[in-house]
Structure 1
Amino acid sequence: MRAVPLAFARVSRISRVPRLPQFGVSSMRMMSAAPGPKPVNPEFSSGPCKKRPGYDVSTLDSRVAGRSHRSKLGKERLALAIDETKRLLGVPEDYLVGIVPASDTGAYEMAMWNMLGARNVDICHWESFGKGWFGDAVSHLKLRENGIEVNEHTAEYGELPDLSKTNPDNDICFTFNGTTSGVRVAEGCDFISDDRTGITLCDATSACFAMNMPWEKLDVTTYSWQKVLGGEGAHGVMILSPKAVERLESYTPENRPLPKIFRMVKKGKVDGAIFKGATINTPSMLCVEDYIDALQWADSIGGVPALIKLSEENLAVVESFVAENDWIDFLAKDPAIRSSTSVCLTLDLTADQIKAFVALLEKEDVAYDIGGYRDAPPSIRIWCGSTVEKADVEALMPWLKWAYEEVKES
């Protein structure tokens, strides 16, 4: 096994010299005593997300390094990643699973560019990425200019639109779990008709492996393994139902060029090789090995049910803390639509104070990368997916109060 480069080694937290936050003249006052032990791992980023407990890059199978993804070994490892994904997620046998370029964004846009335009469309969004899909449909695919009705169902951050207004005869685009708003659709996706004639396109990047996916309601499902499983970036996963395959084989968008990395059909048929490991462009085989490692870990602890339980337990820690403190609240007020992975919180602080709050926790090596998304209201977001350990979430909570009091009084 190859030695791990020194650059990958974590700098010891003990060796760092504590620095006072730059809040202005008042920052010269003495800071309050530490409220308790710090999280052992301060990584709470919402993507790429924390690695699984016990992760060690040196344990990855390095046989694929320097090998072609088209070699026998490369094909075997890609096929293994696809097969294990399908097995662990409980994807129906007649669905297809493939690895595609450009993370979840690439996977979702690949689906939109290939499939939208055959029917009218309902696009549901309540956070930045869903809003981006609406913009793509109108401004880039120009569906309205080509006679397609595009209906927008939207809500403010922290809320869901009335999804019952979607039409089962239309294609429906939606985000299962809004990473930037902390809002998810209700369990079961009951707003989707079993008798629909349109297809559903579901962005599930913060939901797959963390929430129960009602596959019978989902025709196109996309995610990136850099989220719930803590994998490396740049690769997406696309899951297609038979209805989605039928759409690909029966509908060809007119006057719409498809880049090479978007092309899924050859001679009128879905390119089945994509869903057996023959990726459209060259994947990082080390990223694939990293993903296989995460899948093996997930399997070893009990699969998706265990992953869901871990994430929900982490959310419960935050919910208890919020209930005890009136200066912090969930962006998603309704627990039924509250995400257990990307947990978004508002604070009784100004936008500048929230930035100082986030910077202070990072300087103290308590929490990294917890600032709210740039398009979201001033807020923080704490990744509580299953790779984050409950003890670290518990250790973080007193530090949130400590940082709040430090910033509020500065």
Structure 2
Amino acid sequence: MKPNIKPQNPNFSSGPCTKRPGYTLNSLNTDSLGRSHRSSIGKDRLKKAIDETSRLLNLPEGYKVGIVPGSDTGAMEMAMWSILGQRPVDVFAWESFGAGWASDVAKQLKLDNAQIVTAEYGQLPDFSKANPDHDVIFTWNGTTSGVKVENAEWISDQRTGLTICDATSAVFAMEIDWNKIDVATFSWQKVLGGEGAHGMLILSPRAVARLESYTPPWPLPKVFRLTNKGKLIDGIFKGATINTPSLLCVEDYLDALAWIESIGGLPAAIEKSQGNLQALVEFVQEHDWIDFLAQSPEICSNTSVCFQLKASDEQIKAMIKLLADEQVAFDIGAYKDAPSGLRIWCGATVEKADIVALLPWLTWAYNQVTA
């Protein structure tokens, strides 16, 4: 039978992700709007966003956080173009975005000393191929495959190369061993449900040392430049952004960070996301027509959860449309480059009650399109 209870919030998109519970535009501080980002209030709000990010993530001493243009993609491109080339590089890819970084290394930067290690959707590549003397690029969570790294134990503590991690759908949702990471990037519109266009760049002291001791052989656009005359442009990491940011988006991000603090900080956000995943795990265990794309439980994402179904591509498309028409689930189709299926975001801004309310609708819609 058709369920009679709908999710109060049907937004399950994997980016931009749903806003925090109780979000309203009226909750935003608007004092900085209409002011220059170089004004004292503009700099203060940008610095607060940086400082709160560092504090809530409990970053190690000496790590720097900067706000950069171009979302997570801009932050990753900035890091790769500014840092790579001194050493050989190992790129690990198992879904669309990781494949994009591998393509940039091979086809744009055209690095001859690159090793690209891949895996099929649902699996992880062989991390034992990581050379501690090489730079390493990987995604912590494969947003388009629903597969995350289990841990960072494969990264050597004695490495001489740098680890560059695309962590955009993992930061504020998964435990990250920051001592294993030299460069990390993420964006506001993922786990925190913030607005787009702004990226976050996290640098370890080792990454800063590389930037100040190595100049890549290719020209760098202005928005990629992290150094000036061989020194880190420190203002980027204190609120003096490279280009003009949206202070409205900054206020939106600060609101999300304040909400993380209010629920109990990073541990509470991780626990909430894992609890949402558990509801999906129990549903899969009870139904034989749906399964995780991830091939084992320990690598199953607790944010971008991807599913494969016993249904044709056309049936899955019809199911997605039916759920959207009923206004119970928006934007839950698999990523365009991924295997056909469903993708349900279950980060901390999603309420478990909404996940639970959605589940009977999945069964109903599946039965409707496969009858």
TM > 0.5 fold call: yes
Partner of 2:39: 71
Structure 2 CA distance for aligned equivalents of residues 223 and 36 of structure 1: 38
Partner of 1:163: 127
Partner of 2:347: 385
Partner of 1:27: none
Deviations 1:52-108 (A, max 9, x none): 000011121111111110000000000000000000000112010000000000000
Structure 1 CA distance for aligned equivalents of residues 174 and 185 of structure 2: 14
Structure 2 CA distance for aligned equivalents of residues 312 and 257 of structure 1: 43
How many residue pairs match? The answer is 371
Give the drift of 1:257.
1.4
Give the drift of 1:34.
2.0
Partner of 2:137: 173
Consecutive unaligned residues of structure 1, counting only runs of 5 or more, are 1-32
> Which residue, out of 331, 344, 349, partners 1:369?
331
1:102-181 alignment runs, 5 A limit:
102-144=70-112, 149-181=113-145
The answer to whether the 8 A contact 1:69-1:285 is kept is yes
Consecutive unaligned residues of structure 2, counting only runs of 5 or more, are none
Deviations 1:239-295 (A, max 9, x none): 0001100110111011x1111100000110000000000000000000000000000
Partner of 1:259: 221
Identity %: 63
Q: Does 1:323 align with 2:252?
A: no
Partner of 1:201: 164
Letter paired with 2:341: S
Give the drift of 1:390.
0.2
1:394-409 alignment runs, 5 A limit:
394-409=356-371
Structure 2 CA distance for aligned equivalents of residues 337 and 320 of structure 1: 17
Structure 2 CA distance for aligned equivalents of residues 386 and 301 of structure 1: 10
Partner of 2:4: 36
Q: Does 1:95 align with 2:63?
A: yes
Letter paired with 2:189: Q
Structure 1 CA distance for aligned equivalents of residues 231 and 65 of structure 2: 16
Deviations 1:368-398 (A, max 9, x none): 0000000000011000000000000000000
The answer to whether the 8 A contact 1:328-1:346 is kept is yes
Partner of 2:184: 221
3-state SS of 1:287 partner: helix
The answer to whether the 8 A contact 1:153-1:161 is kept is yes
Structure 2 CA distance for aligned equivalents of residues 106 and 349 of structure 1: 37
Which structure has the bigger radius of gyration? 1
The answer to whether the 8 A contact 1:315-1:384 is kept is yes
Letter paired with 1:346: Q
3-state SS of 2:31 partner: helix
Q: Does 1:52 align with 2:32?
A: no
Structure 2 CA distance for aligned equivalents of residues 135 and 59 of structure 1: 42
Partner of 2:310: 348
1:261-300 alignment runs, 5 A limit:
261-300=223-262
Letter paired with 1:71: S
What do you get for the CA RMSD once the two structures are aligned? 0.6
Structure 2 CA distance for aligned equivalents of residues 219 and 241 of structure 1: 5
Q: Does 1:237 align with 2:200?
A: yes
Letter paired with 1:36: N
Partner of 2:264: 302
Letter paired with 1:343: V
Give the drift of 1:36.
3.4
> Which residue, out of 146, 152, 155, partners 1:192?
155
Structure 2 CA distance for aligned equivalents of residues 109 and 311 of structure 1: 28
Structure 1 CA distance for aligned equivalents of residues 133 and 226 of structure 2: 24
Deviations 1:284-317 (A, max 9, x none): 0000000000000000111010000000000000
Give the drift of 1:333.
2.1
Structure 1 CA distance for aligned equivalents of residues 129 and 27 of structure 2: 50
Give the drift of 1:164.
1.2
3-state SS of 1:67 partner: coil
Letter paired with 1:69: H
